[in-house]
Amino acid sequence: MGYIEMREIPFGRPMLGEEEKKAVMEVLNGPILVHGPKAKEFESAFAGYVRAPNAVTVSSCTAALHLSYFYLDIGEGDEVIVPAQTHTAAAHAVELCGARPVFVDAEKDTGNIDIEQIEPAISDRTKAISIVHYLGMPVYMDKVLNIAKKHNLFVVEDCALAIGTYFKKVHAGLFGDTGCFSFYPVKHMTTAEGGMLITRHKEVAEKICRQKAFGVDRHVGERKIPGVYDVNMLGFNYRLNEIQAALGIEQVKRMNGFLKKRKENYEILSRGLGAIDGIRQFKSTHGDYQSSYYCLSILLNEQLTSKRFEIIQSLKQKGVGTSVYYPQAVPHFTYYKNKYKYDDNSFPVASWISRSSIALPVGPHLDVEDMEYIAESVKDALMEVK
């Protein structure tokens, strides 16, 4: 790279400034750490941002997914359609309820679930379809909803990487019955750990609000006489605390800026990588599809795929942090493979993505020069291994 100075480019970095620190200190200086006004304020702010009629804070996206199936009361003998190319949380949430995830392969252009393969995977045991907006590119939800309607299925949208994802100008999470978001540190915004469940249905929000807090029939603020409450359903402790909520409120205020920066970075990096032989990119924003630009995953050709770890290592030495979304098709992870006996040749597209992709950073912690540096580093890394 010679003439370019070495840079340190982490894959993700939480964007926490003075406002977040002040907000956290305010909570710490007060008497309320849980069950307070901040969680309610965060729910309103997030709901306003994505235009959701109902939002419920939860402790993680995994908790939101689990609650979605728990609400549905699925269990042994039930099945849920789950994309093969995603985070293991999508399948675990189904397993935790005792039901079976039935995996469906990905499509090549976006990495999203191959909608054509959903219907053949539906049986009379299927209760729900899980949709993941992979790397922030929206799934064609009209088609999914038609299938769901025809077979009377609940739709759970995993929006862990999809704040700022719109399909036909409607935010991800508002098509299905629930939308589940993650505020883990490398995500579009963070509360350290944390999540949000949005839903178009008031009754779903109300019940999940109870189920996330032990199934108690009235929250602390609703109890006129302390100690007087009943438990009329099962529930977890999946609450988000006031410190996390305070962070979330400040982060929502900055979301437009974060998303603008991601888009700019993505476009610059995409152009920079465009001229490099041996790699291709997923489809990004076009027409009705608005991506949240979580990262830019490159797909290596067959020859380079065999050198992927050397390339990742070389990028690391150049200071470029990378990730892999996701390291294996979920059904090929040992737990699922042992339990359901999937063979290595199943889910060929999801496997190909897991084998050949490298995720590059485009987060708001980076600028134009970083993008130019990443493109240059990729070019050099590929030359080195050829």
Ligand X SMILES: Cc1ncc(COP(=O)(O)O)c(C=O)c1O
Between 130 and 285, CB nearer to ligand X: 130
Q: Near ligand X by CB under 6 A, which window of 1-9, 153-161, 209-217, 359-367?
A: 153-161
What's the Cα-to-Cα distance from 213 to each of 53, 209, 238, 274, 359, rounded to whole Å?
A: 21, 7, 6, 49, 36
- The correct pick among 132, 156, 245, 330 for binding ligand X (CB under 6 A) is 132
Distance of CA 170 to the CA centre of its chain: 17
Q: Does 160 bind ligand X (CB under 6 A)?
A: yes
- Output 117 or 244, the one with its CB closest to ligand X: 244
Sheet with 289-290, side-by-side order of all strands: 170-171, 166-167, 289-290
Rank residues 182 and 265 by Cβ distance to ligand X and give the closer one: 182
Q: Does 161 bind ligand X (CB under 6 A)?
A: yes
CA dist., res. 85 & res. 378, Å (int): 24
Binding range to ligand X, per CB under 6 A, among 58-66, 221-229, 272-280, 330-338: 58-66
Sheet of 126-132: strands edge to edge? 54-58, 195-199, 178-182, 154-158, 126-132, 79-83, 100-104
The piece of 137-145, 158-166, 219-227, 337-345 that touches ligand X (CB under 6 A) is 158-166
Q: In this chain, which stretch among 83-91, 119-127, 168-176, 306-314 interacts with ligand X, using CB under 6 A? A: 83-91
Our finding on whether 195 is near ligand X (CB under 6 A) is yes
Figure out which of the listed residues 67, 90, 102, 329 binds ligand X, where binding follows CB under 6 A: 90
Q: Per rule CB under 6 A, is residue 62 in the interface with ligand X?
A: yes
The torsion defined by the Cα of 163, 167, 172 and 174, in degrees rounded to 10, comes to 140
Using CB under 6 A as the binding rule, whether residue 297 contacts ligand X is answered as: no
Select the residue interacting with ligand X from 61, 97, 104, 375 (CB under 6 A).
61
Peptide bond into 335 cis (omega under 30): no
**CA–CA gap between residue 78 and residue 289 (Å, rounded):** 32
The letter for the amino acid at 292 is S
What minimum distance in Å lies between the beta carbon of 333 and ligand X? 14
189/209 with CB nearer ligand X:
189
CA angle (369 as vertex; 137, 362 as ends), nearest 5: 20
C-beta of 93 vs 375, nearer to ligand X: 93
Q: For residues 27, 32, 34 and 39, what is the CA-based torsion angle, rounded to 10 degrees?
A: -60
Residue 221 burial (CB count, 10 A) = 9
> Residue 158, interface with ligand X (CB under 6 A)?
yes
Q: What is the CA radius of gyration of the chain?
A: 21
Q: Say how far apart CA 25 and CA 30 lie, in whole Å.
A: 9
Burial 335-364 (b: 16+ CB within 10 A, else e): ebbeeeebeeebbebbbbbbbbbbbbbbbb
CB of 381 to ligand X, least distance (A): 25
Least separation in angstroms between residue 190's CB and ligand X is: 10
Q: Name the one residue in this structure whose structure tokens are 């999508």.
A: 90
- Site for ligand X contains 357 (CB under 6 A): no
The reply on whether position 182 binds ligand X by CB under 6 A is: yes
- Residue 60 contacts ligand X per CB under 6 A: yes
By CB under 6 A, tell whether 11 contacts ligand X. no
- Stretch of residues binding ligand X (CB under 6 A), selected from 123-131, 155-163, 342-350, 365-373: 155-163
Choice from 24, 50, 57, 87 touching ligand X (CB under 6 A):
87
* Binding test (CB under 6 A) with ligand X, winner from 89, 97, 245, 311: 89
Q: Which residues bind ligand X (CB under 6 A)?
A: 60-62, 86-87, 89-90, 132, 158, 160-161, 182, 184, 195
